[in-house]
Amino acid sequence: MSRKGSKFAGVSVAITTPFRDGQVDVETLRQQIDFQIDAGVQCIVPVGTTGESPTLSHVEHEQVISETVQHVAGRCLVMAGTGSNSTAEAIRLTSWAAKEGADAGLLVAPYYNKPTQEGFYQHYKAIAEQCDLPLCVYNIPGRTAKNIEPETIARMAELDNIVMVKEATGQMDQASQILLETDLTVLSGDDSMTLPLMSVGGEGVISVVANIVPGDLLKLVNAVNRDDWATAQQMHRKLFMLCRDLLSLATNPIPIKTAMKILGRDNGHLRLPMTPLTEAQTSRLQMTLLKYGLVDLVA
């Protein structure tokens, strides 16, 4: 079955937001974008969770979207993080992304205020009706405190420009139900779940670990797409420990920003309330990178 968001199949990278002296470091942002495009990823995702969007001002959020779209310049797709727990703010950010030329909006489920299922539906419906942009529903109850149930997502799928789900519930039954009952493209929101999700019909991943090893994520996804399950399983096993440590040592994006610094791609500081890894955590992360095979890049 052809799915609504198949244009965004493959590897999308949730890029970090680099900071210098308290400001967005635009030059480093551009370098990150070039690194990903040179690797061959299908889509760049700025100002998501990995991009520390909760700590960006409205002006900075718009700036990162604009700079990303302009620097990508059509070389790959751009799916801008435009979600909020305020429907009005999500509409404003999504409208901005559309105006600037983004290819899609990534809309995290409203967090903290814990809407009812009807509230979730009406939130996304209002955005879909007011913003002419393909939309991806980002369901991550571990951060938002409430799951968007598959029945609610099925209702959303009837809206023309809701085309994708970033599935980060960790529940394969939920993903399978969405794939069964809708024509939405389902993308993994957990790097380690990419292969399991694609095995039941998912079409790729919105990745954190691809900030440092985009080529390996591409090898996994491309292997699935050509039915080379042996290679896909090999890449899954290779990536698993790296994915685990990057998302378990501390809250994302603390470990990935630290890993990038270790590997000579310093993104600058984290913004409070994000704080650096401890020395023990940093040592463990460096050992993970060494075991992965990034020895030649570690100082």
Residue-level pLDDT at 257: 97
Catalytic residue among 146, 166, 219, 257: 166
| Sequence spans of domains, the chain | 6-228
- 36 token code pair: 């990903």
What is the per-residue DSSP string for 180-200?
HH---EEEESSGGGHHHHHHT
Q: What mean pLDDT is predicted for residues 239-259?
A: 94
**Pairing between strand 23-24 and 19-20?**
antiparallel
CATH class for the domain made up of 6-228: alpha beta
Q: What mean pLDDT is predicted for residues 184-201?
A: 97
Q: What mean pLDDT is predicted for residues 261-269?
A: 94
Does 89 or 246 have the greater pLDDT score? Answer: 89
Catalytic residue among 138, 146, 219, 257: 138
pLDDT band at residue 2, thresholds of 50, 70 and 90? confident
CA distances (Å), origin 67, targets 26, 33, 251, 265: 7, 10, 26, 19
- 223 token code pair: 């292997």
Residue 94 · residue 125 · CB < 8 Å = no
Q: Is 257 a catalytic residue?
A: no
Q: Is 138 a catalytic residue?
A: yes
Please write the tens of the pLDDT for every residue from 86-101: 999 999 999 999 999 9
Position 8 pLDDT exceeds 60: yes
Residue 274 · residue 253 · CB < 8 Å = yes
Residue 180 · residue 196 · CB < 8 Å = no
